Amino acid sequence: MNPVSPVHRAQAAQARCFVCRTVDESPAADFRCTRCGELLELSYPSWGDTPVDPRSLKLAWEARRASPLAIDRSGVWRYRELLPILSDVNNAVTIQEGNTPIYDLPRCARSAGMDRLLAKHQGMNPTGSFKDTGMTAALSVANEKRFEWVACASTGNTSASMSAYAARAGMKSLVLIPEGKIAWGKLSQALDYGATTCQLRGDFDACMRVIAEVVRRAPVYLLNSVNPYRVEGQKTAAIEMLDQFGWELPDHVIVPGGNLGNVSALGKGFIELRDLGFVRSVPKVSVIQAKGANALVRTMRETGGARLVPVQAETMATAIRIGNPASWRKAVAVLKATGGACEEVSEEELAIAKAEIGSDGIGCEPASAATLAGLKKLVASGFVQSADLVVLVLTGHVLKDPEYTLKFHRGDLFDNTESASKMRRPPIVLDASADDVLRVLDRA
């Protein structure tokens, strides 16, 4: 039998406004504060009254790794004492998400000027992206509340994740995507998992506006990252990361920035672990954006994080092509609380970094590679030192957008500079001749 902490039975989640701190007993369908319209977050007031015992929980979490139960083998629900969002944990919908590996990247380390470089690959989740860790949590809440329909606006990964978990739960799913601005690999997942998929003439932000109105007018449960239960599930990646490090802290964790729910979640996870006594401090959490979708970068540079500076997003890294990020306030709070940085990278810098990650045998989708491209700039500026322990969070699997990869190596992605050309590995067309193949080997 697995050890069970009394913490899990004692706590209850409380939804409160991230800005005005108003507690909302019955959150609105769009998860906005009914007083000021800002996003909600979850807190656990009883943690202050019932102290958490880190040592006992670590033992319980370790024991669950040997359990045959799906709920225990999940890299999210294994840590359920810090995720007390269900009345009955048997209502959890899991595809054994989490448990994602940490890889050494020796070639990327040399390229970035680091002694050592690591990557936490969230693209190794069941549907190929970090979204699964949040989706299992939020959709489980919808399942417990007996919703028939769930819905999201998406640039691809959210729709794939939501539709998969909805299918597992026997629920129906609605997906709104911007027409022509989604990687086909991601769209194919939503279709295969049975989602009702609508392509809207507009960008992601237009899809978000429409889905917010839909959930206000129909009994449909919203599963975008504005849903605070999504954030709670995604924060477990921070717990798992430190668990994998033997509860030792890295110096820096670097995350790609799109709608900014992921950095918000990871920061929340690290800060809660510190406040509960699992660790003494937190790593610096930094965000990297594409130059064409750099709303958070501009917000920090132009207003110090006081006011969002939205942009018309344009980048080939579709997962972060978002110009009006919903979780910007939470992301700003994480940057300030952890001492992290915010940087932007060009399309070429991002594409080269993606090829460099591939050269270490660890592929990723384009948006993930923003982390390595951004790290190079943080090293050049002195913010990151070569001896620091840095973890790049890779958010999506390499097969999410194979068309991007093919275009880069064929030289069709953009006008190729000398730096990009060095990383290109286009296929070589030959006659069916061993002599021709051997001549290629000699040249190589």
Q: What is the mean pLDDT of residues 233-243?
A: 97
- 202 contacts 322 by C-beta, under 8 angstroms: no
What value does the mean pLDDT take over residues 198-223? 93
pLDDT at residue number 171: 97
Higher-pLDDT residue of 148 and 418 is: 148
- Taken in order of first residue, the domains within the chain and their CATH numbers are 102-127+228-423 (3.40.50.1100)
Higher-confidence position of 284 and 187: 284
The pLDDT-based confidence of 304 (bands split at 50, 70, 90) is very high
CB neighbours (10 Å) of residue 124? Answer: 19
Three-state SS for 150?
strand
pLDDT at position 178 is 86
Assign residue 411 a region (left: φ > 0; alpha: ψ between -120 and 50; beta: otherwise). Answer: left
User: Rounded mean pLDDT of 207-214?
Assistant: 93
The number of residues making up the chain comes to 444
Name the nearest CA neighbour of 74 among 65, 86, 83. 65
State residue 416's pLDDT score: 77
pLDDT of residue 9: 40
Nearest alpha carbon to residue 260 among 233, 232, 289, 236: 289
The pLDDT confidence band at residue 12, using thresholds 50, 70 and 90, is confident
pLDDT of residue 186: 77
Which is it for strands 252-256 and 390-394: parallel, antiparallel or unpaired? parallel
Mean pLDDT of all residues in 143-152: 97
Mean of pLDDT values over 48-69: 91
Distance CA 159, CA 199 (A): 12
**55 vs 5, 10, 52, 65, CA distance in Å?**
11, 18, 9, 16
| 3-state secondary structure (DSSP) of residue 392 | strand
